[in-house]
A and B are shown apart, each in its own frame.
Chain A
Amino acid sequence: LPGQQRLTSFFGAA
């Protein structure tokens, strides 16, 4: 999907 962001852009590695 165009414009779909990834979760990894929001949550960093723990």
Chain B
Amino acid sequence: MFEARITQGAVLKKLVEALKELVTEGNFDVSSTGLQLQAMDSSHVCLVSLALREDGFEHFRCDRNMAMGIHFQNLSKILKCAGNEDTITLKAEDNADQLTLMFESSNQDRISDFDLKLMSIESEHLGIPDQEYSAEIKMPSSEYQRIVRDLTSIGDTVLISATKEGIKFSTSGDVGTANVTLRHNTTPEKPEEQTIIDLKEPVALTFALRYLNNFAKATPLAPVVKLSLTKDLPIVVEYQIGELGAVKFYLAPKIDD
């Protein structure tokens, strides 16, 4: 059987809110090492890769590997019934066709359970090579959210260029043009308020803002986001979820017109 208990149930709620617009369905692959998900959007332009470690849960047990096919809008409906302070336990028998979610209030005086019907999903896993990136930028996740939201109101695509001067986001549209530059800034005392640019070589790539804006739905999960860029390769937008694991979004670049 599979059983995973997380005291901060809100994390699970935020996670599913971050994914459900982007991917309709996907398999929760559970094993003794934790829970993983790899799912592409319907146009195969971007991919969500989620990895939650077994030791990040208060309790984790998985007797045999399983792929649990999840419809994310449906999972979201159930998780909306959980309180923000609730502890959430996920449970499934081996080869089950349903996932049980149990919600316990913090003072244990309210316990509810819901069964989510599982789906059978054929999904091919993509092999994502480990690689060195030309530029890795860590910035406050709220800053990333603001930039992509602001630029989405101006244009459809953004040119992201990383140089030793900083990281620059540029767009243009019917309204006009917009440029936002963040400089390497380690002055703030709190690490989560710093902008750290680790540059091996300058790089500039163009991406669809609609997807970058969608990735920002993960902002409530983490104070810091990391962008990884390499010439002619997908961007990685990564949120570390405390000690539990990470969610990474990959987006293929646009070829310059």
Contact = CB atoms under 8 A, between A and B. Distances in A.
A3 B208 CA distance: 10
A11 to B, nearest CB: 4
A14 B123 CA distance: 11
From B40, B250, B252, residue with most partner A Cβ within 10 Å: B252
Interface residues of B, number: 26
Nearest to B208: A1
Nearest to B46: A7
Interface string A1-14: 11111111111111
Contact of A6 (B125, B129, B157, B252): B252
B254 A13 contact: no
- Top 4 nearest A-B pairs (CB, nearest first) are A14-B127, A11-B126, A14-B125, A3-B255
Interface of B: 40, 43-47, 124-129, 156-157, 206, 208, 233-234, 250-257
